[in-house]
Amino acid sequence: MSEEEYINLYNRIKTDLYNEFINPETATYGLDVIRQQEAKDDIYKNIADEKEIIRDEIEQLKAVMKKYEEAEEYEHAAFMKKRIENLKKRL
């Protein structure tokens, strides 16, 4: 942590404590910080879920692509392959 970040954190803590002593009706007693941390954890959870969804979609597209190849519909199979490649890039 740099000196500037430390000073900013110190000033924020000082201001928060001052506001809680001056106006106890609106005091959060640190719960706002906990809620922010929980929100960050939820964001990372959604990212993991999104990766799983993309992997499942890739598997489904591979199955469809094989059916198109078996039916000798190569244009549709090429389209599926392109979609699979784009999804792999997103991962």
Mean pLDDT in residue range 7-35: 72
pTM exceeding 0.85: no
Whole-number Å distance between alpha carbons of 57 and 63: 10
Domain assignments of the chain as residue spans, ordered by start: 3-90
Whole-number Å distance between alpha carbons of 55 and 90: 10
Tokens at residue 48, please?
Answer: 């993991």
Whole-number Å distance between alpha carbons of 79 and 75: 6
Asked if residue 50 lies in contact with residue 58, where contact means CB atoms within 8 angstroms, the answer is: no
Chain position carrying tokens 């719960």: 31
Statement: residue 40 has pLDDT above 70? no
Of all residues in the chain, the percent with pLDDT exceeding 70 is: 71
